Amino acid sequence: MTPSLTCHRTAGPPDWAQAQRSARFADMVTGEPGLLDTRAAALWDNQNLYVHFWIEEPFLEAHQTERDSLIFLENDVELFIDGGDCYYEFEINALGTIYEVLFIWQDAYHKFPADEFDVHRRRALSFAGDDDRSGPTFWRGAHPRGARWAFRDWDFPGLHSAVTLHGHLNDRTRVSQGWEVDLTLPWAGMAHLANGRSLPPQPGDIWNIFFGRFERLLIHGQEIQPHPAWCLSPHGVLDTHRPDRWTPVVFA
C-alpha cells in the first residue's frame, strides 16, 4: 500500500521548523532508503498549498540558470500534482532555476479549452513517459493511458519558490550540509488540476502528489547513469510520470 502524507491546515505563514516531516525518501525502483536524506512537508490554507523540502547534500552543485532548461540533468527536487486528465511538473536546482510543464493526457485533450491549449500555436510535444520505449510501447509508452501533450510554456499562476543553501555552492573542496526548497502554490492557479474537486480542498480530500529528487553522482570522475532517483512513494519502475503511484496527500 502506498504510504500517505497528511497535509495539515496552517493558521498563518508556515513554520517549517515545527512542521511534521515526511519519512526519508526511498529509491524509486527498489524502495531502499536513499543514499542521502531527503524529506518533505506540506501545509495548506484557503489561499495556498505550501511545500517544503530538506535535502542533505555534502557537495552543493548547480549550474543551469536558464528557466525551463532540463533541470533533471543535475541535482534537483521535483513536485508533480495529479489533475486526473492532466498533471503538473515542477523541478528546481540549488540555484533556484525552475522547470515547469503541464501534461494533458491525449485521450482527454478534448476536455480542455482549444484556444488555450492549441498544440500547434503553443508547440506542444507528444510525450509517452520516462521508461525505455521499444517495440509495442515505442510510440505510446508503457502507461495504459498512452501519450500526453506536454505544454512546456505553461507557468503555474502565482507560483513562488525559494532556495536556502547550507554550505558552499560548486566548491567540492568543502563539505556542505545541504539545501532547502520552499514552495507556495495558490489554489487559484489550479483550475485545470482540480478535476471537479473543491478549491481549496475540503478536509478529508485526497490528492496524488509526487515528491522526488534526482542526484547526479560522480564516481572516480565518471557520472552514474541513470541518475539515482529518490521519492516518498517508490514506483517499482524508473518513471516519475506515474500519477497512480504518487503519494496520496490527505488534507486535514
C-alpha 124: how far from its chain's center?
Answer: 20
Contacts of 48 (CB under 8 A, 6+ apart): 184, 185, 186, 187
Residue 44 lies in a domain: yes
Max CA pair span of the chain = 54
Give the whole-angstrom CA distance, residue 169 versus residue 11. 35
Instruction: Classify the C-alpha dihedral 235-236-239-244 as positive or negative.
Output: negative
pTM above 0.85, yes or no: yes
The tens-digit pLDDT sequence of the chain (252 residues) is 567 899 999 998 899 998 999 999 999 999 999 999 999 999 999 999 999 999 999 999 999 999 999 999 999 999 999 999 999 999 999 999 999 999 999 999 999 999 999 999 999 999 987 665 566 777 788 888 999 999 999 999 999 999 999 999 999 899 999 999 999 999 999 999 999 999 999 999 999 999 999 998 767 667 766 778 999 999 988 889 999 999 999 999
Residue 104 lies in a domain: no
Our count of domains for the chain comes to 1
Find the domain containing 212 and state its range.
Answer: 23-97+151-251
Residue 228 lies in a domain: yes
State the Rg of the chain over Cα: 18
CATH number at residue 57: 2.60.40.1190
Contacts of 200 (CB under 8 A, 6+ apart): 44, 45, 46, 47, 187
116-135 exposure pattern, b = at least 16 Cβ within 10 A, e = fewer: ebebeeeebeebbbbbeeee
Residue 106 lies in a domain: no
Residue 247 lies in a domain: yes
Residue 112 lies in a domain: no
Separation of first and last alpha carbons in the chain:
20
